Structure 1
């Protein structure tokens, strides 16, 4: 009986060690890994959360009022973008596959992305236009471009051919 208990204890210790190594490795890898930041869909302009973080607390009602004014424009642009995104997926899944149809839908998708960017730009322009000089300066500080990737060698891809 004592030998059986010793064997069970050994298996439990080995299992515990394996779980601890797995969790420890996962935790350490999470600390060392560079966080992924998806590209800003608004091409470098700060979003309302970033703007509100650099403005005084008493500017919250102003921010909310500007967002309320532009909510319809932004919501419409987002809805159209999501609808077009579904059309892109459908064109990719279509049998028989039609590359011309996919190109047309992707062109539409690019136009809907631009509509969303323009709606966001209008919102930012309206909000910044209502701020004092210090508020505008604080928002302007958010417009710094991120540094190039570590493996960037200073060469951009060649330009597309001219038609």
Structure 2
């Protein structure tokens, strides 16, 4: 019986760790949103000093990126509002879509300065690792698999 209790305890501990990891991931994504996802993707392939350099570059630009993300979300809500409007107004939807596209472009542009600043200080190996991330995403897109 003691052996069965040990397995039960180990299984319970494993389940709790999995739930804790899942909950932490969800909380992190809710807190950091798309900004955190982009930063995380760019930093993930790096190691040591390269990782610290890029993290610092993104940290300095985070207020601008978060503001751009808020504008992008607001523009997306305007698209949803235009789609739900009765009577439907195609001109209002076109205006909202244009605003959303511009806000999305501004959000993506908010990562240019930290990427330029950080990449200039990162090792050649680190830059190759960052470029490999883009290669991986391109291969996934070519297969029709998510972003």
The TM-score by the shorter chain falls in which range? 0.5 to 0.7
Identify the residue that residue 117 of structure 1 maps to in structure 2. Answer: 108
Spell out the pairing of 1:64-79 with structure 2 (5 A cutoff). 64-79=55-70
1:101 is displaced (CA, Å) by 0.8
Higher helix share: 2
Q: Normalising by structure 2, report the TM-score.
A: 0.63
Moved more, 120-129 or 71-80: 120-129
1:130 is displaced (CA, Å) by 1.6
Counterpart of 2:71 (choices 80, 86, 91) is: 80
> 5+ unaligned residues in a row in structure 2: which ranges?
1-33
Identify the residue that residue 149 of structure 1 maps to in structure 2. Answer: 143
Alignment of 1:50 with 2:13, yes or no, is: no
Q: Normalising by structure 1, report the TM-score.
A: 0.57
Q: Write the distance in 2 (CA, Å) between the matches of 1:86 and 1:51.
A: 28
Q: Deviations over 1:57-98 (max 9, x none)?
A: 343432332122111110111000011111111111111111
> 5+ unaligned residues in a row in structure 1: which ranges?
1-40, 151-163
